[in-house]
Chains A and B, each alone.
Chain A
Amino acid sequence: MGDHHHGPAKGLSRWLFTTNHKDIGTMYLWFSFAMFILGGAFAMIIRAELFQPGMQLVEPAFFNQMTTLHGLVMVFGAIMPSFVGLANWMIPMMIGAPDMALPRMNNWSFWILPPAFLILASTLFMEGGAPAFGWTFYAPLSTTYAPPSVTFFIFSIHVLGMSSIMGAINIIATVMNMRAPGMTYMKMPLFVWTWLITAFLLVAVMPVLAGAVTMMLMDIHFGTSFFSAAGGGDPVLFQHVFWFFGHPEVYIIILPAFGVVSQIIPTFARKPLFGYDSMVYATASIAFLSFIVWAHHMYTVGMPVAGELFFMYATMLIAVPTGVKVFNWVTTMWRGAMTFETPMLFCMGFLVLFTIGGFTGLMLSIAPADFQYHDSYFVVAHFHYVMVAGAVFSMSAAVYYWLPKWCGKMYSETMGKTHFWISFIGFNITFFPQHFVGLAGMPRRIPDYALQFADFNMMSSIGAFIYGASQILFLYNVIATIVSGKPTDKEKVWEGAEGLEWTVATPAPYHTFERPPAVR
């Protein structure tokens, strides 16, 4: 493969041995979509069981396995790899680099993912069932009281962590070393900036997650008592370690999404991004703050009041840079000349719904009120507004936005818009009522509920089936585009698009920027 002037290898070996950032990006994207469908199938089982009060389809133990796997697969299998895939495709093309800085490691960081998820999924067929302790796997439910399959879970988390760390190192090395001459840091597209910061977050916290699962492993098999009170350990320690990873993790998920939206809104507003510098600083401050707010997930564990106050104030502060971002996006639209193609629609959906999720986040940050919200469906509503309407909507926007550049064919705008509207409506029918039942007292992670929650839960389930179905349409649209979309060879697919990726041929050739472009 040393000779760069050849195209891709033929057959399966192209994909197994490839070191090409576009191939690897493509594999990440397809893999994450497959995981999205798998995690979505688990969600459908959950919502089907919750359609009515009473146990109908599954047993409580299996229900817990579904919620656990749904969370793990969506976070680690669908959202994170999808943005890594996007980074692989777009970062070299956005900074004028021929490829990622560490292409062989790139291949490796993708290819250890599928086995890791195979192992995780195989726990479903093991004695005692799959992990059933929630995606936050609090000890001692996940240690002393866990099914035997927890060991495989730990192994798969380790592998996922390695993959993420390698991916992150690669992105850092690429952005720091491979920028075209003239591409200074403050000229980089925002997507590159948000990913650079995300990559630093990943390198900082994935080892902490690895530490947490290693301590679990020691407790389970080697007689230690990190998290077992009976042996002098501390179950709350687990939560501190987990959330020291977990809170930055939620920003690992959303920062690249911020980047995507910051690319797309200016294109369709035909007006430069408002407040580029403040966007960069806001992203950096969010990243910094994300390290000192973790215990806002633990207001009810019985921390001293001083700790409680510290974490409350720090969490409230995050609303400031987050607000700055939202204001900047809206001001970018202001007095632009907007059109509303599918990517823009998804960004508008993102803007409205993510802001609602931010509001509920602010409400949750108020510790005394969180005593009522915590571990209720209100929290479920909050994080789906930020993760689905935030990360997944922006990912859909990204696919529609760059798909023509990737494959040289236009998707069907009608189908894209239909996908958006069904998603948007389905999403809200699913998750808006969850605010209500949560406030009224419905705890999360329960397979059955009291009668007063019945109507809103039924609504929620109907919405979920609608949202789920709309993703099939998405899949169909993407495949139809690749197979028989209307060909286009315009370099600049979108009239208002700016950036180096729009200067290469369409479809993007296998190798781009073998010679660095000139950056003004």
Chain B
Amino acid sequence: MVLKAKRLCKLALGPVLMLLSLASAGALAASSKVNEVNMPPGVTEVGQRIYDLHMLILWICVVIGVLVFGVMFYSIYHHRKSRGVTPATFHESTKVEIAWTVVPFLILIGMAVPATSTLLEIYNTDDAELDVLITGYQWKWKYEYINEDGENVEFFSNLRTPQTEIYNAEAKGEHYLLEVDEPMVIPVDTKVRLLLTANDVIHSWWVPELAVKKDAIPGFINEAWTQASEEGIYRGQCAELCGKDHGFMPVVVNAVSQEEFDSWLADKQAKAAEIRELMAQTFTMDELMERGKAVYERNCLACHGANGEGGVGTAIAGSAIATGPVSGHLNVGINGVPGTAMQAFGGQINDVEMAAVITYQRNAFGNNMGDMVQPIDVYNHKNG
């Protein structure tokens, strides 16, 4: 109840706020994130400098605005016909006109100086201690930690908010639309260089609190950097229209201590090594079925049903594709069916998982194909 009343108050406050001119933007910086009205200074030094620059220019504009609108409203009040005034006839004054050309010019120079130095700082990507390659996909991000010695670590970061929340069947969680299955992790107090590119269309990687926004463009690699000074989870979104689900590809960055980061990375590397080993391995039917069941339950069950009976997706039990040639089945699993809910899983689950789940679908729910798909088959299908 109280909350509701507060909300209503805030709504009523709106029109009043708007009349308070831009000044309110600065003065009303609220503490909570809800109804935030200003740019966050964030947790980086560059972010702080950008924020200061933003406030400086805002206040300069406010002062000029107050002067100009002050004169204007004074005039509107005093120089109206209903007060019986007779209009003056002057229509030029070289002195005044030169003054109001030169003074703004000087003010602009005053703004350009801090703007230039901040820009140079933003462009200085030297001496980074960690490189992360970020690739935009329709509609998710991929992060690759580039390691000269040792295993590269790469993973996709997908929106985690369920469709049921988006379509209002369930209450929305606290981080609605700003949550992912696997966040990017960076160590604090470390200069991290971000290398940005895209796989399909242009995306833009934006986290306000890290003060980074940079376009991810296919065929190009852009550079940016950040250095978080506080541990925490920072949330942002894709900023460049990239198609249907542009609004549903958040960026989440988890800034942790150096130790925590090291152990996270080591963990990831170990897992990556394990998978690489598995990739070369040949599995038995039982192994594939066991792994496949787990993958199916995690990734496919929601749409294809616990017994392959279908639901949002078509039935797998007796399906023509699951009981047809392996290559056709692999094709659907890897590339999805465009224009339907059946996504391309090729980039989302690894080759071992794909081999297992395809084998599983061919041999479960009464499908008795008796054939097996090995990781190497998935690899070959993807690459040729």
Contact = CB atoms under 8 A, between A and B. Distances in A.
Interface stretch (B73-81, B147-155, B263-271, B373-381): B73-81
A182 interface: no
Contacts of B104: 319-320, 323
Nearest to B176: A451
A440 interface: yes
A316 B87 contact: no
Contacts of B217: 229, 235-236, 301-302
Contacts of B39: 372, 439-440
A376 B92 contact: no
A319 B115 contact: no
B128 to A, nearest CB: 16
Nearest to B14: A459
A414 interface: no
Question: For this complex, into which size category does the number of interface residues on chain B fall?
Answer: 35 or more
A369 B53 contact: yes
Interface in A269-304: 269-278, 300-302
B70 to A, nearest CB: 10
A320 B246 contact: no
B359 interface: no
Given A60-B244, A429-B15, A455-B10, A330 B166 contact: no
A236 B220 contact: yes
A132 interface: yes
Contact of B15 (A272, A319, A425): A425
A440 B213 contact: no
Contacts of A331: 96
A17 interface: no
Contacts of A53: 172, 176-177
Interface string A421-441: 000010011001101100111
A270 B213 CA distance: 50
A302 B223 contact: yes
A335 B75 CA distance: 7
Interface stretch (B182-190, B234-242, B317-325, B343-351): B234-242
A428 B92 contact: no
The A interface, classified by DSSP as helix, strand, loop or mixed, is helix
Interface stretch (B116-124, B273-281, B286-294, B360-368): B116-124
25 contacts: A54-B172, A55-B166, A229-B218, A236-B217, A275-B92, A276-B91, A276-B92, A319-B104, A320-B101, A320-B104, A333-B72, A334-B79, A359-B61, A363-B61, A368-B119, A369-B115, A376-B239, A428-B18, A440-B39, A440-B208, A445-B246, A448-B248, A449-B247, A452-B34, A458-B11
Contacts of A274: 90-92
A428 B24 CA distance: 14
Interface of B: 7, 10-11, 14-15, 17-19, 21-22, 25, 33-40, 49-50, 53-54, 57-58, 61, 64-65, 68-69, 71-72, 75-76, 79-82, 85-93, 96-97, 100-101, 104-105, 108, 111-112, 115-116, 118-120, 122-123, 138, 165-168, 172, 174-178, 200-202, 204, 206, 208, 211-215, 217-220, 222-223, 235-248
Contacts of A28: none
B97 A275 contact: yes
Interface in A8-62: 53-56, 60-61
Given A138-B241, A446-B246, A362 B80 contact: no
Kindly state the interface size class of chain A when it binds its partner: 35 or more
B34 A451 contact: yes
A485 interface: no
Nearest to B81: A337
Contacts of B91: 271-276
Given A236-B220, A432-B17, A432-B18, A367 B35 contact: no
Contacts of A334: 71, 75, 79, 88
A54 B239 contact: no
B71 A54 contact: no
User: Considering the complex of A and B, which 9 residue pairs feature the smallest CB-CB distances, nearest first?
Assistant: A229-B219, A446-B247, A432-B18, A440-B36, A302-B222, A359-B61, A436-B37, A335-B88, A368-B118
Given A133-B241, A276-B91, A302 B214 contact: yes
Nearest to A344: B76
Interface stretch (A96-104, A252-260, A305-313, A504-512): A305-313
